[in-house]
Every structure is written in structure tokens, then in C-alpha cells.
């Protein structure tokens, strides 16, 4: 009911009952509890339709706050979101790099404390911290299990460590799943109940939402798109598979190829050695017509398009949202290639189109999703199905 009021409010008790199928007695009891907890407020009356005007209910955004943290090799992003999904504050700092969790977790705790202080947040309103990390993860144990980008973190109890360091409950999730949830809260998936969020930063992952519910699989590791084989005779990946997408399409691979082309005198760009910065430089050069830079970005997009067609065929999605730092730098190219591939190669293309959109907030989607995830887990620990009831 809280989710419904958040997504559809202002809404009357009668409308809540009609939408949920619950009895008026149940509605009255639960609404009173929500009002007493400060989660919901009465927001005036609707226009009369002949009888007594109905009192309308809406969420009290400031009553609860969630802190989202997106951990990656290149950057750590912090976002504070309120119950309505509005961003209260954000901060981006240097990533984990080659440092292990023993040194990075205390730094994260200090960053969070500083952010709370700078924003003047009510500490009692903070329900917890959501941590989004590259997968695979063990959500039950709160550990990163085999992330190639963060090998020193594998098996480390990062969820409990961050909770102990900050004093707040912590929830751990895959960054792609968090981004998929973030896109919903940001309004990027409106009108679509079956969609995928492709998240590309250091690696490539996807979050799958089916009928309004994140599909997690047996161990919350669905959607490792980067380890889908795109070349059966390709090189062996660090995951043990062969010819994985991440060997061909990630920003790191684009930068590696650019370095080689620069050494051969075919590309003249000032590269720094920082993957995110260099990828953005290549993307900018491509946008300005540099032929080699364009070739490198388009090659990545072509490989990703092949994988996304397979994803669309497996899950029959109707929307693809592109999130993450890579798409923030070169989203237009990827949207074009993925759209063309899905329009001509997806099996369901004659039944329904598959739309491709860039994220409304590509850099922060995973952090926003993590912030909303911890509120979802703490306040209404169910699936997303209830959140999307109004679109049913």
C-alpha cells in the first residue's frame, strides 16, 4: 500500500481499495499505521462527485532517506534519495582502484559521514545504505564473489563491514540490478512492465524486470551480459568462459585498441591512462568525426548489439535502458546500433518493437537504485510487483 500511494498519490482510500482489492477495514488500519509512522500524510480532499469529498493520501518524502553507494574501480558514487525518489544530495569520488576493502571501506564510511554532515540530514530518517557493486555477488552473505574488476574484494564481507563502519543497516546488490530499479524510480521505464537495464562501466551487466519484478535467479546473479559468448573461438576470459562480450566491448577494450592505433600512428589523441577519461576522449573524438575513434566506438556497439539481441530474444523485453558511465559518454552511438539491431534481428520484432533509451541519469542510476533498494527492503520488503500495480 505504501508503494501504491508513493507511485499513484495523491490517492483516496477508496481508490486504494479499488486498486488493491483489499477491504475498507484493512485499508483504514494500514493507512492509520502509515500516518502514525509519518510515512504518509493527508493532502486535502478530492473534488466532490455528489457525496462527501474523499480525503487524498500522498507520501511524506522527507520522512525516510536512503543512501546509495555505487562501488567501482573508476569511481565511488554516493546518492541520498528521499521516499519519493528525489535526489537530496550526491557526491562522486575516486574509485577503489587497486586498493582493497580494508582501506576502502573506512574511506567510504568517512565519505558517508561527511555527506550526511554537509547536507544536514536527519540521521533518524536514514533507513540504511544500499551498496551497488559489480557482480557476481552473494547477496545472502553480503559478499562480492568473483568480480574481475575488484579481485581483492572477492569473498570479503563488504555488507557487514560497511554496516559496522557506518552504524547503518546495509543492503548489497549487483550494480546492474540496482540500475534497473533506479531507472524505475527515475521514471525512465514508465509504461513498460518488461524491460532490461544495460549497465556498462568497468564491466557490462544487465538488470531484468519482468511484470514489474526484478528477476534475480537462484543466486541474484542474473544478467551477467558481459560474460555472454560472442565469439566461440575467442580468447579465454578471466571468468573461465571463452569469447566473452567484455573482451570486445568494454571501455577498457576500446581504450586498449586506441592505444595500439595511436602507436601505429593512426590515431592522434592525448590519452592519460585512466580508462574512464580516455574512453570519454575517444567518444568525443568520434562525435567530432575522427574516423578511427568512430570505428572503435562502433565496434564496441556492434558487439554489444549482438548480445542485446540475444537478451531480447530470451526475455522478450519491450524496452532497453542504457545506464552507466560508458553510455553517458557515447550513448547516442549505442542507442543507434542497438535500435537498428533489435529492429531487424529481434525475433519478436513483428509483434512489438523494442525501444532503446539512454538513462535519464546515466552516471547515478546504480547509486539511485541502491538508495531506493534499501528503502524498499526496509519499508516494504517484497517485490517490485506492488510498486507497478497502477500500470496493470
Using CB atoms within 10 A of its CB, is residue 50 exposed (0-12), middle (13-18) or buried (19+)?
exposed
Using CB atoms within 10 A of its CB, is residue 233 exposed (0-12), middle (13-18) or buried (19+)?
exposed
Could you say which of 14, 41, 59 is where a domain stops?
A: 59
228 and 253, same domain (yes or no)? yes
Torsion of CA 272, 278, 284, 287, to 10 degrees: 130
Handedness of CA 305, 311, 313, 316 (dihedral sign): negative
138 and 257, same domain (yes or no)? no
The per-residue pLDDT for 51 is 61
329 and 238, same domain (yes or no)? yes
Q: Which three cell numbers stand for residue 153?
A: 574484494
Could you say which of 59, 79, 101 is where a domain stops?
A: 59
Residue in the structure block whose three cell numbers are 522478450: 316
Alpha-carbon Rg of the chain, whole angstroms?
22
89-96 — which CB contacts under 8 Å span 24+ positions?
89/115, 89/118, 89/119, 90/364, 90/367, 91/115, 92/363, 95/71, 96/71, 96/72, 96/150, 96/153
208 and 284, same domain (yes or no)? yes
The per-residue pLDDT for 221 is 78
Q: Which three cell numbers stand for residue 298?
A: 562502433
333 and 196, same domain (yes or no)? yes
23 and 95, same domain (yes or no)? no
- For 212, residues 6+ apart whose C-beta sits below 8 A from its C-beta are 193, 383, 384, 385, 387, 388, 389, 391, 392
The per-residue pLDDT for 381 is 52
195 and 278, same domain (yes or no)? yes
Q: Which three cell numbers stand for residue 210?
A: 519482468
The per-residue pLDDT for 48 is 59
The per-residue pLDDT for 74 is 85
246 and 205, same domain (yes or no)? yes
143 and 215, same domain (yes or no)? no
Spatial separation of the C-alpha atoms in residues 120 and 127, rounded to whole Å: 16
Backbone angles phi, psi at 196, to 5 degrees: -130, 140
Structural domain of residue 290, as residue ranges? 190-359
Using CB atoms within 10 A of its CB, is residue 345 exposed (0-12), middle (13-18) or buried (19+)?
middle
373 and 317, same domain (yes or no)? no
Are 79 and 71 in contact by the 8 Å Cβ rule? The answer is no
Q: Which three cell numbers stand for residue 150?
A: 575488484
The per-residue pLDDT for 212 is 62
The per-residue pLDDT for 328 is 86
* Total number of domains constituting the chain: 3
DSSP class per residue in 323-391 = ESHHHHHHHHHHHHHHHHHHHHH-TTTTT---EEEE-TTTTTHHHHHHHHHHHHHHH--S-STGGGGGG
386 and 290, same domain (yes or no)? no
Spatial separation of the C-alpha atoms in residues 362 and 379, rounded to whole Å: 26
Are 295 and 283 in contact by the 8 Å Cβ rule? The answer is no
CA 374 to chain centre: 13
275 and 385, same domain (yes or no)? no
Q: Which three cell numbers stand for residue 17?
A: 481499495
**pLDDT tens digits, the chain, 392 residues: what are they?**
887 887 777 899 988 998 888 898 999 999 999 999 999 999 877 665 656 778 899 989 889 999 999 998 888 999 999 988 788 999 999 999 889 999 999 999 999 999 999 999 999 999 999 999 987 889 889 999 888 778 899 999 999 999 999 999 999 998 888 888 888 776 778 778 789 999 998 889 999 988 667 888 887 778 889 999 999 999 999 888 999 999 999 999 999 999 999 999 999 898 998 888 999 999 999 999 999 999 999 999 999 999 999 999 999 999 999 998 889 889 999 999 999 999 999 999 999 999 999 887 767 888 998 998 888 777 765 444 433 333 33
Identify the CATH number of the domain in which residue 128 sits: 3.30.420.40
Identify the CATH number of the domain in which residue 20 sits: 1.10.10.10
Amino acid at each position: 500500500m505504501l508503494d501504491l500511494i508513493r507511485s499513484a498519490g495523491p490517492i483516496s482510500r477508496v481508490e486504494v481499495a479499488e486498486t488493491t482489492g483489499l477491504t475498507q477495514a484493512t485499508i483504514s488500519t494500514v493507512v492509520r499505521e502509515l500516518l502514525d509512522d509519518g510515512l504518509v500524510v493527508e493532502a486535502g480532499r478530492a473534488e466532490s462527485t455528489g457525496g462527501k469529498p474523499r480525503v487524498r493520501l500522498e507520501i511524506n518524502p522527507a520522512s525516510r532517506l536512503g543512501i546509495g553507494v555505487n562501488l567501482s574501480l573508476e569511481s565511488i558514487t554516493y546518492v541520498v534519495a528521499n521516499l519519493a525518489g528525489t535526489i537530496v544530495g550526491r557526491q562522486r569520488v575516486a574509485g577503489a582502484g587497486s586498493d582493497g576493502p580494508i582501506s576502502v571501506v573506512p574511506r567510504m564510511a568517512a565519505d558517508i559521514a561527511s555527506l550526511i554532515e554537509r547536507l544536514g540530514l536527519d540521521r533518524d530518517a536514514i533507513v540504511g545504505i544500499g551498496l551497488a557493486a559489480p557482480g557476481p555477488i552473494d547477496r545472502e552473505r553480503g559478499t562480492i564473489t568473483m568480480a574481475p574488476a575488484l579481485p581483492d574484494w572477492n569473498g570479503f564481507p563488504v555488507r557487514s563491514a560497511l554496516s559496522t563502519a557506518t552504524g547503518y543497516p546495509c543492503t548489497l546488490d549487483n550494480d546492474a540490478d540496482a540500475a534497473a530499479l533506479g531507472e524505475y524510480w527515475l521514471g525512465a521505464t514508465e509504461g513498460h512492465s518488461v524491460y532490461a537495464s544495460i549497465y556498462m562501466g568497468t564491466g557490462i551487466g544487465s538488470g531484468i524486470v519482468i511484470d514489474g519484478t526484478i528477476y534475480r535467479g537462484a543466486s541474484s546473479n542474473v544478467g551477467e551480459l558481459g560474460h555472454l559468448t560472442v565469439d566461440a573461438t575467442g580468447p579465454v576470459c578471466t571468468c573461465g568462459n571463452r569469447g566473452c562480450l567484455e573482451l570486445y566491448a568494454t571501455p577498457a577494450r576500446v581504450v586498449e585498441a586506441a592505444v595500439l592505433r595511436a602507436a601505429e600512428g593512426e590515431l592522434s589523441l592525448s590519452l592519460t591512462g585512466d580508462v574512464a577519461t580516455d574512453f570519454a576522449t575517444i567518444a568525443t573524438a568520434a562525435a567530432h568525426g575522427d574516423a578511427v575513434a568512430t570505428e572503435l566506438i562502433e565496434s564496441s556497439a556492434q558487439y554489444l548489439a549482438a548480445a542485446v539481441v540475444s537478451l531480447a530474444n530470451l526475455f522478450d523485453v519491450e524496452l532497453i535502458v542504457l545506464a552507466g558511465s560508458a553510455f553517458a559518454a557515447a550513448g547516442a552511438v549505442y542507442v543507434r546500433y542497438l535500435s537498428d539491431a533489435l529492429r531487424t534481428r529481434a525475433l519478436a520484432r513483428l509483434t512489438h518493437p523494442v525501444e532503446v533509451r539512454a538513462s535519464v541519469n546515466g552516471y547515478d542510476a546504480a547509486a539511485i537504485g541502491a538508495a531506493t533498494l534499501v528503502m524498499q527492503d526496509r519499508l516494504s520488503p517484497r517485490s517490485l510487483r506492488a510498486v507497478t500495480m497502477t500500470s496493470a
